Structure 1
Amino acid sequence: MAREGKAQMETTGQDSALNTPLSPPRVASDLTLGDLAKALGTGWRDFLAMPRFGLFFGGVYVLAGLLIGWVTVTGGNLTWLIPAIAGFPLVAPFVAVGLYEASRRRAAGAPLTWGAVLGALKGHGDDQILSMGVIVFVAFSFWMIVAHAIFAVFVGESGMGRDPLAALLTPEGLAMLGVGGAVGGVMAFAFYAMTVISLPLLVDRKVDFLTAIIASFAVVRRNFVVMLTWAAVIAALLFVAMLPGFLGLLVALPVLGHATWHLYHRAIA
């Protein structure tokens, strides 16, 4: 009984040590491209050390992508397929919340249990992470509305009833892809800047989501070239991983999720 009580106290102490108390985040201004390479290497090692978590969250992401593709194809809404796939990476940071928790626990030597990792979505009992989840959903929905508006402006009724691929190869379709790509790129980067540090911070510390978002924007602003490069790395890896029927995301998502946690740890003192 004494040993069990002691073990329970040690476990509780480990968990408590993980949750940094309220304090203003201090943002680094000296990130380098070497930090990105180091984060990717550490993220890969985290994935190999605890693949069950990576494959689980990667599997959830893959199933979500396949479901989106199935709904658009079977529903005859192929014109929605491209914006849906293009906007799909927007939800990746929220799916990766459990991966941040797994990396944090592994680094701290705390127990790696499903309850603890999945419980990260609840945050610190203050619904801040769930609030960010609502923002993620709204951002994805807003992108779909904007994409539909761009389609209506450039293609409109002329694209209705036509082969979607043929419609995209027309001058109007190519113009739509150009404008949609530019608008989508700006929106995606703004959303990336808002979430890349804020979600790991909410997992790590008891702060409100506005404070976390401000810290995330600050990291991107103070380390713009490095963080822009990280955004390009994430976009490229996710795009390549989606090509083989989304299956590459089984590895790409967890590695990037674990790596983002370690980059956050470097960015927030």
Structure 2
Amino acid sequence: MTTLENSYEPPQPPAKIADDLTTSDLWSALAAGWKDFAAMPQYGTAIGGVYVLTGLALGYLALVMGQTSLLIPAMAGFPLVAPFVAVGLYEASRRREAGEPLTWGSVLGALKGKGDEQILSMGVIVFVAFAFWMIIAHAVSAIFMAEAGPGSESLAFLATNMGIAMLAIGSAIGALMAFAFYSMTVMSLPMLVDRPVSFATAIIVSFKTVRSNFAVMLFWAVIIAALLFLAMIPAFLGLMVALPLLGHATWHLYRRAVH
């Protein structure tokens, strides 16, 4: 047998996507996610802590630079990067499920993926999307503040009719962008941790999963948004629990949805 034949690896079989997800699967995923977090809290707490510190730093910079109008869009767009931050949590759940040893090196090393930089490529997409969202949010706020005139830079502006209109339009645009981005990443990042596939293949699988289980996956998006929003209210501190819970739970939902 030649060297070429020895190095040949058969292609990965195509993913089979479940089209029968129910809300019971979501509760089961959350329960399994909580068990993972309770069994190995050091990983979730540390990763969530980094997320908290980043959020506090962004808020501080916005206040120091006098860009208070960007605080709300920054908080609203913050969940966009959560799936990438949770990559280490997917790996921790995968290893616990498979009975493999857990170390900081293996959890943090998950960002390298299968050695093919596919997860890092997804990371670039994630942060570009966040930057794009901030550009859109800044454009919307600039338009309304120009109409409102002096004084619109303060947080009190948000309580005015013009401020409420700005929040309503910004929220509508943000919701559409967030759901499109959620559909792209919710299954793709766990899949890249699990299997040696391209990020394009993983994105297609993610979109197909959402399309095949639209109502349930929409409800999962609402759960994620609600938990992250509530977790951000107490100075982002709730993210130290909400982020690892949702990260571990998303892994278990992926295992139910994609075979």
| Band of TM-score, shorter chain | over 0.9
Runs of at least 4 residues of structure 1 off by over 4 A? none
Choose which of 139, 151, 164 in structure 2 pairs with 1:149: 139
Q: Distance in 2 between matches of 1:21 and 1:59?
A: 38
Alignment equivalent of 1:96, drawn from 61, 86, 90:
86
* Residue identity (%): 66
For the 8 Å contact 2:145–2:152, the answer to whether it is kept is no
Residue of structure 1 in register with 2:3 after alignment: none
Q: Does 1:45 align with 2:27?
A: no
Structure 1 length as normaliser, TM-score? 0.90
Change (3 A) 1:152 1:163: closer
Task: Structure 2 unaligned segments of length 5 or more: list them.
Answer: 1-9
Amino acid at match of 2:174: G
- Whole-angstrom CA distance in 1 between matches of 2:156 and 2:58: 22
**Structure 1: any 5+ residue segments left out of the alignment?**
1-19
Q: CA deviation at 1:266?
A: 0.3
Offset, 1:160:
4.6
State the shift of 1:162 in Å: 3.8
Equivalent residue, structure 2, for 1:170:
160
- Contact kept, 8 Å, 2:145 with 2:153, in 1: the verdict is no
Equivalences for 1:146-225 in 2 at 5 Å? Answer: 146-156=136-146, 158-162=148-152, 164-225=154-215
Residues 86-116 of structure 1, C-alpha deviation per residue, up to 9 Å, x if partnerless?
Answer: 1011110000000000000000000001111
1:133 equivalenced with 2:123 (yes/no): yes
The question of 1:258 aligning with 2:240 is answered no
CA RMSD across the alignment: 1.3
1:81 to 43, 53, 71: 71
Aligned length: 250
